[in-house]
């Protein structure tokens, strides 16, 4: 007895689509087939693929940018580079146009930087456009070594050595380099002695921060700490009073008397100070707002709070040279 041969069924056949006829043309509709493990990588790509067909491509590998601050950075613009040269900041390389190289403000400083080991490249403005990505370089740019942060005890000692009642700013969670640069510029201009920033979830000292600070970093110390709450406790032990800015602060800032060594804590724009940081503060202060805007930019709030601190101190200072001498 002869048995009929059985039809072998391929693994892909159950998923074949239904045969459809349109104007005497026969084709398989909606073919669906699952690729075996490893088959997708071995299948060749058809040369006549439809241009609108979406093909699967490997996901791009994202570069880790967490260590960006540890790399050499770039500063540009006459004022930032001039400040770095005047303060003998370590510069790996300097690109400068011929016209600016022999400018009286830069010539001797560039010669001194060369003696200290900096490489001086005289370039065309187009080359500077390429180096800075088309930024407003003003004819000069420099590659700086990674910023040297102070340890918190060293920052405290330095602040106390230059002022009887020093002021230190603590910036929590500032991720915008423009905001951090503006805070540094304002703090140094008004007279604060230093800045403390957290190591994580916050921007460090980058080229953008240096540019926005407009040379203030050459005369302003910055400490970077791992644990901000522990740093605030260390500042308390050193005799500082901790004032935190918060939208829901219990006291308007103009009603608070800022005496003795002061730490002013500025929160991130949008989120403000977290609860752990608020508990570490001695006093929470707020800036009264009369308009409909609910909050201020972090750098603006820092400037207003710092001005209030030094306004009060200037009123309490007795200027003996302005007193009338007795006849």
pLDDT tens per residue, range 40-72: 444 444 444 444 444 334 333 333 333 344 334
Co-location of 267 and 167 in the same domain = yes
Same domain, yes or no: 249 and 140: no
H helices present in 87-227, as ranges? 98-101, 107-115, 125-132, 152-162, 177-190, 207-213
Give yes or no for a contact between 142 and 94, defined as CB atoms under 8 angstroms apart.
yes
Same domain, 157 and 302: yes
Its domain, for residue 287, covers: 152-321
Q: Which residue has the higher pLDDT, 21 or 201?
A: 201
Please give the pLDDT value at position 160: 93
Q: What is the model's pLDDT at position 9?
A: 52
Q: Looking at the whole model, is its pTM more than 0.85?
A: no
Higher confidence at residue 36 or residue 162? 162
Is-contact 249 286, C-beta < 8 A? yes
pLDDT tens digits, 211-249: 888 888 888 999 999 999 999 999 999 999 999 998 776
Residue 33 lies in a domain: no
* Among the listed residues 160, 112, 142, 185, the one whose alpha carbon sits nearest the alpha carbon of residue 263: 160
Domain count, the chain: 2
Whether the per-residue pLDDT at 261 is higher than 90: the answer is: yes
Give the tokens for residue 86.
Answer: 């005047």
Question: What is the tens place of the pLDDT at every residue in 167-207?
Answer: 999 999 898 999 999 999 999 999 999 999 998 888 888 87
Statement to judge: residues 122 and 259 lie in one domain: no
112-130 burial code (b ≥16 CB/10 A, e <16): ebeeeebeeeebeeeebee
Among 128, 144, 160, give the residue marking a domain's end: 144
Q: Are residues 224 and 244 in the same domain?
A: yes
Position with higher pLDDT, 11 vs 302:
302
Of the residues 82, 110, 144, the one at which a domain ends? 144
According to DSSP, the residues that pair with 20 across neighbouring strands are 27
* pLDDT tier for residue 317 given thresholds of 50, 70 and 90: low
Angle of the 78-86 helix axis to the 107-115 helix axis, nearest 10: 50
CATH of the domain at 244: 3.40.1280.10
162 and 139 assigned to the same domain: no
Instruction: State whether 183 and 159 are in the same domain.
Output: yes
- Based on the fold, state whether residues 311 and 177 are members of the same structural domain: yes
* Closest to 243 (Cα-Cα) out of 227, 219, 260: 260
How many alpha carbons lie under 13 Å from residue 20 in its C-beta half-sphere? 9
């Amino acid at each position: 007895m002869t048995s009929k041969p059985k039809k072998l069924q391929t693994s892909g056949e159950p998923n074949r689509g239904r045969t459809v006829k349109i104007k005497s043309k026969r084709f398989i509709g909606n073919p669906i087939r699952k690729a075996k493990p490893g088959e997708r990588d071995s299948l060749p790509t058809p040369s006549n693929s439809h241009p609108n067909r979406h093909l699967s491509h490997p996901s791009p590998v994202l570069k880790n940018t967490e260590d960006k601050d540890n790399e050499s950075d770039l500063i540009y613009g006459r004022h930032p580079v001039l400040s770095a040269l005047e303060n003998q900041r370590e510069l790996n390389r300097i690109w400068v146009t011929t016209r600016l190289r022999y400018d009286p403000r830069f010539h001797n400083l560039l010669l001194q930087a060369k003696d200290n080991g900096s490489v001086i490249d005289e370039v065309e403005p187009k080359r500077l456009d390429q180096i800075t990505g088309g930024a407003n370089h003003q004819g000069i740019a420099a590659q700086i070594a990674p910023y040297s942060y102070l340890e918190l005890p060293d920052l405290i000692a330095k602040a106390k050595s230059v002022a009887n009642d020093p002021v230190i700013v603590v910036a929590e969670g500032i991720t915008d380099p423009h905001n951090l640069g503006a805070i540094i510029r304002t703090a140094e201009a008004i007279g604060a002695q230093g800045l403390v920033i957290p190591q994580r979830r916050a921007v460090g000292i980058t080229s953008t921060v240096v540019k926005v600070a407009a040379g203030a970093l050459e005369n302003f110390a910055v400490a970077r700490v791992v644990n901000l709450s522990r740093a605030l406790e260390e500042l308390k032990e050193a005799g500082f009073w901790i004032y935190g800015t918060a939208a829901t602060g219990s006291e308007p800032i103009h009603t608070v008397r800022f005496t003795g060594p002061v730490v002013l804590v500025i929160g991130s724009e949008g989120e403000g100070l977290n609860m752990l940081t608020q508990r570490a503060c001695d006093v929470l202060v707020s800036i009264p707002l009369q308009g409909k805007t609910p909050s201020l930019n972090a750098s603006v709030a820092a400037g207003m709070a710092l001005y209030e601190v030094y306004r009060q101190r200037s009123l309490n200072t007795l200027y003996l040279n302005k007193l009338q001498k007795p006849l």
